[in-house]
Structure 1
Amino acid sequence: MALTAETWPIVAATLPLPGADARGVRAQDAPAETWAASLLEVADAGFDGIDLTDTWLQPGDLGPSRLRELAVAAGDAGVRISAISAVRHSVIDRERGEANLAYSHRTLEAAAELGCSLVSVGLHQPLTEAQQRQLWFWTVEGHRDLPEDAESWDLAATRLRELGRHAAELGLLLSLEMYEDTYLGTADSSVRLVEQIGLPNVGLNPDIGNLVRLHRPVEPWRELVEKTLPYANFWHVKNYFRDEDVATGFYTAVPAPLELGVIDYRAAVRFAVSVGFQGLLSTEHYGGDGLSVCATNRDYLRRHALPKRDGYALGRSRVDQLQHHAM
C-alpha cells in the first residue's frame, strides 16, 4: 500500500544535538541519561524517529553494552532509531580511507543491532580549518574529488559496492549522500556512480540542499530533482534562501525553513512520489533552534507536499510543471 501524508515516515536528523557539552565532554562518552534527555527533546518536538547523524554519536564506535544503552535510552524516550547518517568518513580519503571503510562497516553492524532500516554514507571529507572558522562552512571551498582521476573513481565504486553487499547481508539499505565537489556532487555523476555500483539496495540520498547553498553557480534544483529522485531510497530535506547576481558574480545562501527557501519542496516531493519514491524523509536544518525548524518542516511536508490518500492523487499540475522546467 502506498504511503500517504499521515503514514509517511519522517524523522529528525540529530544535527541540532551537540557533539559535546559546555565542559567539552563528548556526547559519545556521556552517560545514557544524557542521551535520553536529548532524545526526549526530539520526542517533545513531535518526532517518533531519528536519523542518527554521527556528528552527535558514532554508533559504529560504541561497544555492545553502550549500544544496548542507546537502544534503551531511545525506547524510554519513545523515539525509534530509523537510520544512521555517517558523514565526513569518505572511503577514498587518501589518509583515512581504509579506516573510514572499516568504520562504515562497523556502522552497518551497529545499525542492524539498533533495528535501523538504512545507513547513509557519502564521500565528503572533514571540514578544513578555514571552513571551521566560518559561520557557514559552505562559504569556503573544501576538499575536491578529481573527476579525471579514474583510479579514485573506481576505488569509490568498489568500496561503496563492498558496503552495499554488507548492508544487504544485514537487511539494510545503503544510501549515498550527494555533496558538492565529490563524485556525488552533480546529478549526472551521482547517477553514474550508483549505476556502476549496480546493487538493488544501494540508492541515492539526493540532499540537493547541499548543492544549492554554494556561493557560486549551481545546477538548477529542478534538474537535480528530475535526474536523481528516480534513484533515491532516502532523502535529507533542507532548504536555503539563495540570491544571485550573475552580472557581478555575487552568490549567497543561508538556511531557510523548507517552505520558504529556493527549492519548491511541494513540487519536488510530488515529483518524487510520481516516479515511485517511497523512502524515509529526514528533516535537517543548520543554525538557531534547528530541532524546532525540523518539526516545522515535517508539518509542512504532511500538510502540503505528501499525498493525502493512497496513490498519487494530488498536485498533478505541480508535477507537470516541474517536469516541464526540468526538460
Structure 2
Amino acid sequence: MISAPLTRDTWPIATCMHGFAAVGRDGTRLHDAPPETWDAMFAQIENLGFTAVEIADSHIRPSELTPERRGLLKQIATSHSVELTSVHVQRQSVIEPGRGEENLAHAHAEIDAAAELGMRVFSTGLHQPFSEAQRRALWFWTAPGPVDPDDEDTRALAVRRLRELGSHAASVGLPMALEMYEDTYLGTADSAVRLIEEIDLDNVGLNPDIGNLVRLHRPIDDWREMHEKTLPYAVYWHVKNYARDEAGDGSWFTSVPTSMELGLINYREVVARAIELGFRGPFLMEQYGGDSLGVCATNRDYLRTLLPASA
C-alpha cells in the first residue's frame, strides 16, 4: 500500500491493456514485438493522459523477457512518462487441475520481475482459462466457465500456495492483491474475505473488482453489501461498471459494459467509503468492448473528481 500523502492529482491511476491486441495482425505476440510497437503503445497511453499502466501477462510476461528486453520495456515506458504500476497474472490459477504447480512457478517468477521493474503491486487471482463456451460467446461472462470445487482440501491448497506467493511478495517489498472473480474462492464477498483471513499475511489483500460479479447473468448479492465487506481488505482496485437489468421474478438478467459514472455501481459512494476505511492503493481502469483505452481515460477523469484533495 502507498504511505505517502495522496491528492486527486497524484493518486496512481493506471490503464489496463485491453485496448491493445495481444497478437498483431502479422501474428507477432505483443510480448515479442519490436521496440517500435511498444513505443507506439506507450505513446497512445501517454497521449490520453495516463501516467501508469498495468502489465497483463496475457499481453507481456515480464519474467519471460530477457533482462535486456525487460530493461527496454521500462525504458520505453519511462520515455513516455508512464509507470509500470503492476503485473497482473490472470487465468493461471495455482489450483488449476494439471497446471497448478506450473502456474505457481510462473507467479513466483512474475513477482521477481515486478520487483526488478520497480512496480507497486503484484496482482493475481484464481480464475482459470476460458471454457470453449466462453471463447464462443460475445461476452464471455454470459457463458459458464470453470468452477472451484466445494472441497476444503482444494481450498486449503489454494491458501497454502497463495500464502507462499504472498510471503515471496513481502520479501521483495510488494503487496499482493487477489482479484474477486465468479465461481472461485474469491467469487463472493464472504468467501474472499475468509480467504484473506486464512492466508493471514499483512501484505496480502483484495482487489475488490465487484464489476466482475455485477455483470453476471444470474442473481447477485447487493453491490453495496459486497463493497462494505471487502473494501477493508483492499490493496489494489480494478474499477469498471456495467448497466444491469433483471426481471423482478428472476426469469432473466442482462448486462453490458458502460462507463463508471453510468453503471449500476455508484462509485461516488464506494470510493468515498474505501478512502474512509483507509484505502490508499492504486486504481486500475478496466473496460471491455469499444474504445477500451478511450473509456478508461474518461473513467479516470471521472474518478479524479471523486478523490479528496488530500488523503
Structures share a fold, TM > 0.5? Answer: yes
Contact 2:17 / 2:55 at 8 angstroms: preserved in 1? yes
TM-score (norm 2): 0.97
Offset of 1:129 from its aligned partner? Answer: 1.3
Deviation string 1:152-202 (CA, Å, 9 cap, x unpaired) is 100100000000010011111100000000000000000000011111110
How far apart in 2 are the matches of 1:220 and 1:60?
38
Match of residue 306 from structure 1: 307
TM-score (norm 1): 0.92
User: What stretches of structure 2 of length at least 5 have no aligned partner?
Assistant: none
Aligned partner of 2:265 among 263, 266, 271: 263
Aligned partner of 1:42 among 42, 45, 62: 45
TM superposition outliers: structure 1 runs of 4+ over 4 Å = none
How far apart in 2 are the matches of 1:221 and 1:52?
28
Confirm whether residue 231 of structure 1 aligns to residue 237 of structure 2: no
Match of residue 252 from structure 1: 254
How far apart in 2 are the matches of 1:251 and 1:60?
40
How far apart in 2 are the matches of 1:264 and 1:255?
15
Confirm whether residue 63 of structure 1 aligns to residue 66 of structure 2: yes
Offset of 1:2 from its aligned partner? Answer: 4.0
User: What stretches of structure 1 of length at least 5 have no aligned partner?
Assistant: 312-327
Match of residue 96 from structure 1: 99
Secondary structure of 2:6's aligned partner: coil
Match of residue 24 from structure 2: 21
Offset of 1:83 from its aligned partner? Answer: 0.8
Deviation string 1:111-153 (CA, Å, 9 cap, x unpaired) is 0111101111000000011101111000001000123x11110
How far apart in 2 are the matches of 1:9 and 1:69?
22
Report how many residues are paired. 308
Match of residue 217 from structure 2: 215
Match of residue 297 from structure 1: 299
Secondary structure of 2:15's aligned partner: strand
Match of residue 164 from structure 1: 166
Aligned partner of 1:134 among 132, 137, 151: 137
Contact 2:8 / 2:310 at 8 angstroms: preserved in 1? no
Match of residue 126 from structure 2: 123
How far apart in 2 are the matches of 1:248 and 1:182?
23
Deviation string 1:21-55 (CA, Å, 9 cap, x unpaired) is 11221111111221111111111110011111222
How far apart in 2 are the matches of 1:251 and 1:95?
34
How far apart in 2 are the matches of 1:2 and 1:269?
17
Contact 1:33 / 1:73 at 8 angstroms: preserved in 2? no
Offset of 1:254 from its aligned partner? Answer: 0.7
Secondary structure of 2:165's aligned partner: helix
The correspondence of residues 104-115 of structure 1 with structure 2, limited to 5 A, is 104-115=107-118
Deviation string 1:45-96 (CA, Å, 9 cap, x unpaired) is 1001111122221112212122112111111222110111111010000111
How far apart in 1 are the matches of 2:250 and 2:187?
25
